[in-house]
Homo-oligomer: A and B are copies of this chain.
Amino acid sequence: MSGAPTLLRPRAARKSFDDRRAEIVRKAASFFAQSGFDATTRELAAWLGTTQPLMYRYFPSKNALIEEVYEAVFLQSWDTAWDALLTDRTRPLHDRLCDFYNRYTDAIMHPEWMRIYLFAGLKGVDITGLYIARVEARIIRPVMVEMCAETGLVITPDNEAKLLELAWSLQGGIFYYGVRKFVYATPVHGEKRAMIEAAVDVYVKAWPK
């Protein structure tokens, strides 16, 4: 009856190429975090408030967009201030570790980061291996070194593997709190800060001498 086209959705506001492109990457991150990378481009378009073919003006394929999402999530979320924090021996080790893990988890412990991290890992995406290597080089190994400096334990080829895994188990214990909360949507007990405090305390108190 009406001469106007029956649109369920208002026409998307016209934006500059760069603005639209950045918006797609940003919103695609939260969309794929929620729905997984097998979600359809039509659902993504609905999430964006546009039509499905629009993204092909900005990215040659769905996979090309996904690659950009990986880079935005994993490569642009590392604060270089963290590195100095861990090795600042003017502060007590316990404080440094709590401070670091509070800041680090503030950056990664939200649904978007955690779910994309796991989606990408299960998919076998290369960048996750690079990310874990960076975590080991810039968190795990410094934590090990600082812990041993505190207790006076000398790191040798014989005990290094065990000590690295011990530092990983601290990291993993903290990380799994976020997995339970944001991936499994399971109730956790108390605030993140208290959990970090308690876990760090155990490792500082009982790190091998």
Contact = CB atoms under 8 A, between A and B. Distances in A.
A115 interface: yes
A178 B186 CA distance: 21
A176 B176 contact: yes
Contacts of A115: 122
Copy number in the complex reads 2
A30 to B, nearest CB: 15
A128 to B, nearest CB: 6
A108 interface: no
* Interface class of chain A by DSSP: helix
Contacts of A203: 202, 206
Interface-central residue, A173, A186, A190, by most chain B CB under 10 Å: A173
Interface string A196-207: 001101110111
Contacts of A119: 122
A206 B202 contact: yes
B189 A161 contact: yes
A186 B118 contact: no
Interface residues on A, range: 35 or more
Interface stretch (A5-13, A21-29, A162-170): A162-170
A79 to B, nearest CB: 22
B184 A173 contact: no
A177 interface: yes
A194 interface: yes
Contacts of A188: 165, 168
Contact of A199 (B164, B169, B185, B201): B169
Contact of A169 (B38, B122, B123, B198): B198
A132 interface: yes
Given A161-B194, A198-B165, A202-B206, A124 B170 contact: no
- Which are the 3 A-B pairs with shortest beta-carbon distances? A172-B176, A169-B173, A173-B173
Given A162-B190, A165-B195, A172-B179, 8 more contacts: A36-B122, A118-B122, A122-B122, A165-B199, A168-B180, A168-B188, A168-B195, A169-B170
